[in-house]
Each structure stands twice: as C-alpha cells, then as structure tokens.
Chains A and B, each alone.
Chain A
Amino acid sequence: MTQITPERAGTPTGVAEEWVAPEPARPPAWKRLGTFAASHWLALYAGLILLYLFLPILVTILFSFNDNAGRFNFVWQGLSLKNWANACGVPGLCDAMVKSLQVAVLATIGATVLGTLIAFALVRHRFRGRGPTNLAIFLPMATPEIVMGTSLLALFLNLGMQRGFRTIVIGHIMFDISFVVVTVKARLQGHDANLEEAAMDLYADEWTTFRKITLPLAMPGIVAGALLAFALSFDDFVITNFVSGNEVTFPMFVWGAAQRGIPPQVNVMATLMFVIAVTAALLALIIQRRR
C-alpha cells in the first residue's frame, strides 16, 4: 500500500524533474507538525497503544523503588532501594514465590509430557476419533477459567478431597495440556514426514527414527510449549483460587494482600520476574537471528 511520505507531500507533483528552485518558505511549525502527523498517524497511534500497554508495567517497576511509609504503596514518596534490599521482608511472600515455582515446575513437566504425546498422535498417526480428540483439546481453551475452577472445586468437594498443593498441580496440568498440544502440533506440522520415512528406508527401526529424527525436530516446539505452560501455571490465579485450600502461591499472596494494602516487595518480585522473562525472550530472539 503506497502512502504519501512527508517528502512527497511537500512536492508539487509533475515538476519533480526540474526541481532545482530555491526551497520555498518553510511552512510554519504547527503546519509541518500537522503534515507529519497526517502521514505518520498509524505509527503514532501504534506508539500510543504500546505506551498504554506499558504504562502499568512502568508504574509497577517505579513503585518497587518507592520510599513508602507504612503499609500502603499508592503514592510516590521518593526513590529508595530499601524494598529491594529487603525483598523477602514481608512474611509469606518468598514462601509463596517458592510455592509458585514448585507448582509451575511440576505442572510443566506433567503437561509437557501428556501434551507432547497427544500432539505426536495427532500429527504422526491415523486413527479413528480424531474429531472428538481435537474437540477435547479445544474445549478447555474456550471455557472461562472460573468455570473450570468451580467445577474442579465441585469435584474435590464431592470426593471429600483435601484441597492444597496436590489439587493445584492437578488443575494446572489440566489447563496447560491444550496449550502444549497446540504449540507442539504447530511445530510438528511444519516439518516433513518424509525425513522419518527416509530414516526408516535406511533401516533405522522406529525407536531410533523417533530418537534421532522426530524428537530433535520437534524439540523447539516442545520447549516453547513447556515455557508457555510454565508461564501460564506460574501466573495462574483464577483456577488456583478455587482449588488451593490454604496453600498460598504468589498470585494468591497478592490477592490476599490486596485486601489490606499491597507491600512494595510485591512490586519487587513482579519486576524481578519481568526482567528475567524479558532477558530470556531477548536472548531467544538474538539466538534465532544468529542462525
């Protein structure tokens, strides 16, 4: 799509070839600003939306350095490193972080194994019941989390099952599976099944083919699926809220603290996780570009 660039906008069309005349008087600044905005409005709009997306992130990071007095962290009172120096100073916060990590690691392992197996079956095998299988994978992604959380709670209540660490992991594996399947499937569909047939033609048995060809090719998809599962599990609040019993994960800690006033250490933890995740993402982007 051709759009009017700022240079062309100022040039009278048709006389471009003998354009040697002295520059005409520059239009006033507001007019130039207007022309610039008119030809770049889309970029400006995109910039504004990105600013909107980042405003709360910047505020979160900034308020982790707030020199707040008392329990509340709503008004800026000056720069300080005290919350960072005392990151675990709030009782329960770091325990909650550790709990979230444990849940996320277990849920990621479980969901990645179960989801990858399903993805292999869907892409590499013919079988009856493909439609229902796809539907079973799709439905959890199309169901509101609150419905999944409340139905799990109903199940555990009816079974008289104690809610806690175990039930959180069970729930997280459940909603993570579909995301792993979709991610791994996309990767497996991207490469050629002929590669595997070639290996078999060269007398590799099925297990060797799987180990030497299929698995390495699928690995980026499996890693991506696992990372997605980890991120979703680590930050899950809605389902956890219904099945956690007395167990406190990081989001549960924030939810509980929000009733009384959020300590700035929560911002410290959020900032820390953000920095780690962004660094990892940027590294991945750079490695991808190198290849």
Chain B
Amino acid sequence: MAAAVETETETAGSGRTRSLLPYLLLAPGLIWLLVFFFVPMLTLFQTSLQEGSLQTGYTLTWRVANYTEALREFSSQYLRSFAYAGIATVAALLLGYPLAYFIAFRAGRYKNLFLLLVVMPLLVSFLVRTLAWKIILADQGVIVSALKTIGLLPQYGRVLATSSAVIAGLTYNYLPYMILPLYASLEKVDPRLVEAAQDLYAHPFTAFRKVTLPLSMPGVVAGTLLMFIPAAGDFVHAQFLGTPSQYMIGNVIESRFLVILDYPTAAALSFVLMLTILVLVLVYLRRVDVEEVL
C-alpha cells in the first residue's frame, strides 16, 4: 500500500509552478493532521511514561515499567487480538475471493449492481449490524437449534459468548473491505492471458493458479491489511458477542482509559498495539513480494 502511494507521486500535472501556492493549499489540512494526528501520538507516548494515581494526578517520570507491567498482565488479551484478527482475515479471504472473482469475470453488465450489494451492508450502522448477530446466534435461535439437531453442538451448547462468535463477527463486519480491493485487482486481470494459458493446455485450475492468482496479489495484500488492522484493535465484537474470556486488547484499553481511568497503562497498551501493527505491516509488505508470489 505504501508503495502504491509512492508510485502515484510522479504524475504531477502541468509545469506551471507558483512556489508558494501548493504549500498554501496543503497547509490547512496538513496542520490539522499534525495537530490532531501526529502530536496526539506523542502525547500518547508521553502519557504511557507517566506515574501517579487518579487522586494525586499523573506526572511524567519516564516510567518504562508501565510497559513491562502492562504487557505481563495483559499478554493473553494481546495475543488473542492478533490470533482472532488473523483467523478472521484468512476466513474473509477465503469467503471473499470467489465472490470478487465472480463479480470481476462472470457478473457481466450487473457488475455495478453486485458491487453495490457488497457495500450495502455498510450502510447499516456498524454497532447495529453486530447486535443483529446477537439475535441470529441467540441460544433459542434457529441456527443454534439446527446445529444441535445435526449434533454439531451439545445439548446445552452455545454459539454466543464463544471465540467462534467473536471471530465470525469480525469476519462478517470487515468482509466488504476485503472484497473491494480483491475485486479492483481481479478486474484489471486481462482475460486474454487466462485464455492463452488454456490454449497452451493448462487445466483451468492451473491457469488460475499460475496467472489469475499471482496477478491479483496486490488486491490480496491490500485487502488483508484493510481488514487486519481494524480487526486487531477491535473491542466491539468481544463486548457484544463474547464474554470477558474473549476480551481483546481493545477491550482492555477501552476500560482502562474510560472506566478505570488508569491512563498510563492504557496509553502503554495502545502505543504497543500501534507499534506491533506497524512492524507486522512492514514485515508483511516486505515478505509478500507482490511480483514473486507463486
């Protein structure tokens, strides 16, 4: 994704330059981002090194132990976040790829309609959508009784309040963010290349594996990032569809910041979350060499 941002930069328009004008255009927006995006990151870091209590107030003492203590205490929630987000991302890729493929190659003139159908669920409020799963997966609901009838769920088994419910919710809510970039890159695949492969006696599946799939890798990379990043920081699904034993790091940060008011710990956890995601994204973008996959 970062690479995509870089490559677009060279297409500057006309040669007319007025040295100051572009900076005047940039200034208001960039100052806004500086003051309300970049500076807050620094304050978050600063808060994470404070010491004190709610009564006495917190002061900056560069207390690094905030980090080690927070990580020791909440390591399970922390690891769980990345496990849940990872599983949900893979699930969404498996669910979304065939649909994106269908829209790109088989939907014909109904392409736009299908794309609209994919985006439409996003027009219902995010929290309301998640709560709807609470109704669907309810203990007395249709799905739970069906699962019990075919023996996939024991007599008093539940779907709600389990890891599966939380992961299923994450998969569901971020699926459109996976499908759209997948579609965008599949759409660019030239069907003649696939035909050429088949003319050369490649089995349709081989043609897919050797031609279509590698060409769609930019979409896979963008989709997994668009989904994994928000999913790893989520706290809504564990709250609505899970119990405290499904809590993710987002739930800990939320309650530390807004309920317990233990700002330094919350800030340390939030900062570590950001760094981890940044490192994961960089490693991932480096490892998945888009051209060389497969």
Contact = CB atoms under 8 A, between A and B. Distances in A.
Interface in B11-40: 11-19, 21-23, 25-26, 28-30, 32-34, 36-40
Contact of B99 (A45, A125, A157): A45
Interface centre among A56, A139, A270 (most CB of B within 10 A): A56
Interface in A112-126: 113-115, 117-118, 120-121, 123-126
A13 interface: no
Interface string A136-157: 1111101111111011111101
B44 A145 contact: no
Contact of B32 (A74, A114, A231, A282): A114
A147 B98 contact: no
Interface in B191-233: 191, 194-195, 198, 204, 207, 225, 229-230, 232-233
B127 A251 contact: yes
| Secondary structure call for the B interface | helix
B194 A196 contact: no
Nearest to A275: B123
A57 interface: yes
B138 interface: yes
A63 B129 CA distance: 12
B258 interface: yes
A67 to B, nearest CB: 15
A146 B233 contact: yes
Contacts of A73: 135
A49 B127 contact: no
A5 interface: no
Nearest to B116: A281
B125 A157 contact: no
Nearest to A75: B140
Contacts of B106: 42-43, 46
Interface stretch (A24-32, A79-87, A170-178): A170-178
A97 B29 CA distance: 28
A270 B135 CA distance: 15
B96 interface: yes
A151 B225 CA distance: 21
B30 A273 contact: no
B147 to A, nearest CB: 15
Contacts of B79: none
A60 B26 CA distance: 43
Interface in B27-72: 28-30, 32-34, 36-41, 43-44, 46-47
| Secondary structure call for the A interface | helix
A133 B47 contact: no
A200 B18 CA distance: 15
B90 interface: no
A107 B87 CA distance: 34
A270 B130 CA distance: 12
B14 A54 contact: no
Contacts of B262: none
A242 B258 contact: yes
Given A42-B102, A147-B270, A158-B47, A59 B132 contact: yes
B124 interface: yes
A159 B245 CA distance: 36
How many chain A residues sit at the interface, stated as a range, is 35 or more
A53 interface: yes
A121 B26 contact: yes
Interface string B114-131: 101111111111111111
Contact of B14 (A55, A137, A197): A197
Interface in A1-39: 1-3
A158 B264 CA distance: 12
Smallest CB-CB A-B distances: 5 pairs: A144-B233, A151-B40, A56-B132, A114-B29, A125-B22
Interface of A: 1-3, 42-43, 45-46, 49-50, 52-57, 59-60, 63, 73-75, 113-115, 117-118, 120-121, 123-127, 130-131, 133-140, 142-148, 150-155, 157-158, 170-171, 173-174, 177, 181, 185, 189, 193, 196-197, 200, 231, 235, 237-238, 241-242, 250-251, 254-255, 258, 262, 266-267, 270, 273-274, 277-278, 281-282, 285, 288
Given A123-B13, A154-B263, A254-B128, 11 more contacts: A53-B117, A53-B118, A125-B18, A134-B9, A151-B41, A155-B44, A158-B43, A174-B37, A189-B11, A235-B125, A251-B127
30 contacts: A2-B198, A46-B102, A49-B96, A50-B117, A50-B118, A53-B120, A54-B120, A56-B136, A114-B32, A117-B25, A121-B22, A123-B12, A125-B22, A133-B26, A137-B33, A138-B2, A143-B37, A146-B235, A147-B233, A147-B273, A148-B40, A151-B270, A154-B46, A174-B32, A174-B36, A177-B29, A238-B235, A274-B120, A281-B123, A282-B116
